[in-house]
Amino acid sequence: MTFLVLQPNSLASCLLCLLTAFNLIESEKLLVIPQDGSHWLSMRSVAEKLHERRHEIVVVAPETNLLLRESEYYERKTYPVPYSEEVLKKGFQKFSENLFRKVPFPYSILQEYRNNMYVINLFFYNCDSLLKNREVIRYLEQSHFDALLTDPALPCGVILAEHLSIPSVYFFRGFPCSLEHAICKSSNPVSYIPRCYTRYTDRMTFPQRVVNLLVNSLETTLFKTLYTKYQDIASEFLQRRSLANTLQKQFHLAFAL
């Protein structure tokens, strides 16, 4: 069972949707697999609200992180990762500088792609370290969680939900490949909705719309780049191809819509 919750216009609406979902599955003990950075800020508010409703919350986080701190609202379970806090801070400082650096199009696409790939590779190391940590995995297996809350932008939480055989709730803020539109079958016309990396607005000139269409055609390649490596660690961790095949089917379904 999986619930998908996209970031709404107001936090109150989001909380209502999530709390309704947890009432349906009668969750009492919740495992949270977050994504560090800005994605965690909104998910943290939901975790705190769930704690107020007397749910037991366990947040799994890498020992070296930006925002995944200890809190009275949840128990934090950490695992080691192969980089230091100094490396992390320098990397994200460079990421922030590149994010706001003005580069003429089309070089801006290449710059933002490289910038995002740094963060994505970092989070992949986190996932690989977590899945190979037998002590933490054994703890998760023995804790008997009722459900899992995760950000599916990177699918480590999806893999763990499959392994633990528990329902999962996706807290989705958005994704470079417009995957949120494909999953929800919402309108996403390239003539009016600018693609990531273009920095266009909804008022595009005809040449800009043509470029937007070309960028849209590259999203499939980008999606494969982001997710293919997770198929390998999912297969190794689960000792079968089922989840890898599921991810591949979701990929084909999303971009066939």
pLDDT tens for each residue of 235-254: 889 886 555 555 555 444 44
Classify residue 117: in a domain, yes or no.
Answer: no
Structural domain for 60, as ranges: 1-81+132-174
Classify residue 126: in a domain, yes or no.
Answer: no
Q: Which of 70-79, 172-181, 194-203, 225-234 has the lowest mean pLDDT?
A: 172-181
Classify residue 46: in a domain, yes or no.
Answer: yes
Q: Which of 11-15, 33-37, 210-214 has the lowest mean pLDDT?
A: 11-15
Q: Are strands 147-150 and 29-33 parallel, antiparallel or unpaired?
A: parallel
Long-range contacts of 7-13 (CB under 8 A, 24+ apart): 7/42, 7/171, 7/172, 7/173, 7/174, 11/42, 11/45
Q: Which of 174, 194, 224 is at the close of a domain?
A: 174
Residue 4 pLDDT exceeds 60: no
Classify residue 118: in a domain, yes or no.
Answer: no
Both 45 and 74 in one domain: the answer is: yes
Higher pLDDT, 34 or 250: 34
Q: State the total domains in the chain.
A: 2
Both 186 and 252 in one domain: the answer is: yes
Of all residues in the chain, the percent with pLDDT exceeding 90 is 34
Residue 46 pLDDT exceeds 70: yes
Q: Give pLDDT, residue 255.
A: 42
Q: Give pLDDT, residue 152.
A: 78
Q: Which amino acid is at 87?
A: V
Classify residue 104: in a domain, yes or no.
Answer: no
Confidence of residue 216 (pLDDT cuts 50, 70, 90): confident
Both 219 and 232 in one domain: the answer is: yes
| Closest to 162 measured CA to CA, from 229, 231, 227 | 231
Q: Which of 144, 174, 204 is at the close of a domain?
A: 174
Classify residue 125: in a domain, yes or no.
Answer: no
Prediction pTM value: 0.76
